[in-house]
Amino acid sequence: MTVNSAVQSFFCCRTVIDSHPSGRRTINSSNSQSGLLRRRQVMRAALAATLPLAVPSLARGAAPAPLVVGGLPVTCNLTLPVACVAKATALVKGGGQPVGFEYAKYSGWAEIKESLMTGRIQAAYMLAPLVMDLVDYKIPLKIVSLGHRSGAVIMVHTNSAYRSFSDLRGKLIAIPSRFAVDYLFLRKMLASAGMTAKDIEIIEMPPPDMPAALYTRTIDAYCTGEPFGAAAQRAGYARPLAMTRDQWRNYICCVLTVREDLIRDQQPVVQDLVNYVQASGSWLDAGAVNREKAIQIAAQRKFFNQNPKILRFVMDNPHDRVTYGDLRMLRPEFDDLMKLSVEAKTLKRPIAFDRYVDERFVKNLKPVAIPL
């Protein structure tokens, strides 16, 4: 007998025992003892039927479900696939926090935002200004770690005449989102040429669509995270007009963000995730061998599903096109980012640092091995 059939038998018998033909539930004094006895017998039978199914499950000690963490297939998020695989390796060896991490690939920031807001996922790599804005609207989120440094580029067609930002006046430029720090980078570069965003046309576009749009001259330039700049550059039809590695060394964009209910209910899991993300960053910047291993991981179908040659191009041209080793969350850098966002009108007002950042996990960081 299955669990369902045993339970159904119990409730079926109970209905027969306790129901009056008129539909009224009764307890008849003449048969209440026999009815109670029969109910007990049926309940024992139901429990006996379910016991063989329930006990082995407990004995097996089924592993808890992994924590799903959303991200985009961009090298700014590379610490996430590395952390997922490193944690899976550690789980096989046993010991430590038993909850693994599962990467969930998204194509755009809007989709990640909606999933976090509705609770479909409880953790993700997010745009820092977007987290600030959501917190301002009382969405219960907290930034718990950085994910990278640098990694954004502004690309133009190889055959275009654009050599400086003043050449882009009146041109159409794609950005991932008005909340993206890529947009703030674009504004900084325009300002250096004595221009503002009013001097160009801006369109929001998912990063994977940008190289093709530039190739067909649908847009004149695009600003985004890697590898979508490198993909077009390696193919020979695009060149960088500016890179954050040259123009904004302390650039931060993608941040590890979690829902506050996850912090409340599973604080050790959040701490473990931060431990692995931070350790993955240090591991990535430790040398070319580790970066090559990360390329092979990220290229897999379940992660970025991208050509490893393109990812390798990002890692090598130049080697600090994206960096991961310095993942400190510094208040002055977030304050600067907020100021730029307010000036860009993507944020309505300044938001207190402690409202959107939880520093406890970085402060309580515990070293973990990245056995890859």
Q: What is the DSSP letter of 14?
A: H
Segment 233-241 mean pLDDT: 97
Residues 164 and 225 in one domain: yes
Token readout for 56 is 């082995």
Please say which residue of 218, 247, 276 terminates a domain.
Answer: 247
pLDDT at 37 over 70: no
**Domain annotation covers residue 261:** yes
Lowest mean pLDDT among 52-61, 111-120, 268-277: 52-61
Residues 271 and 346 in one domain: yes
**Domain annotation covers residue 368:** no
3-state secondary structure of 268: helix
Please say which residue of 247, 265, 286 terminates a domain.
Answer: 247
User: What whole-number distance in Å separates Cα of residue 182 and Cα of residue 174?
Assistant: 10
CA angle 267, 92, 293 (to 5 degrees): 90
Instruction: Count the neighbouring beta carbons within 10 Å of the beta carbon of residue 208.
Output: 17
pTM score of the predicted model = 0.80
Residues 136 and 272 in one domain: yes
C-alpha distances out from residue 288 to 10, 127, 284, 315, 371, Å? 65, 27, 8, 9, 16
pLDDT at 44 over 50: no
CA atoms within 13 A on the CB side of 341: 27
List strand residue ranges (DSSP E) for the chain, in order.
Answer: 67-71, 101-105, 123-127, 141-146, 149-150, 152-157, 172-175, 201-204, 221-225, 238-243, 254-259, 322-323
Return phi, psi of residue 227, to 5°.
-95, 20
Residues 256 and 355 in one domain: yes
Residues 232 and 255 in one domain: no
Residues 237 and 186 in one domain: yes
Predicted confidence band of residue 196 (pLDDT cuts 50, 70, 90): very high
Domain count across the chain: 3
Residues 29 and 169 in one domain: no
Residue 36 belongs to domain spanning: 3-60
Residues 167 and 99 in one domain: no
Residues 189 and 173 in one domain: yes
Give percent of the chain above pLDDT 90. 76
Please say which residue of 247, 264, 292 terminates a domain.
Answer: 247
User: What whole-number distance in Å separates Cα of residue 290 and Cα of residue 278?
Assistant: 15
CATH number at residue 222: 3.40.190.10
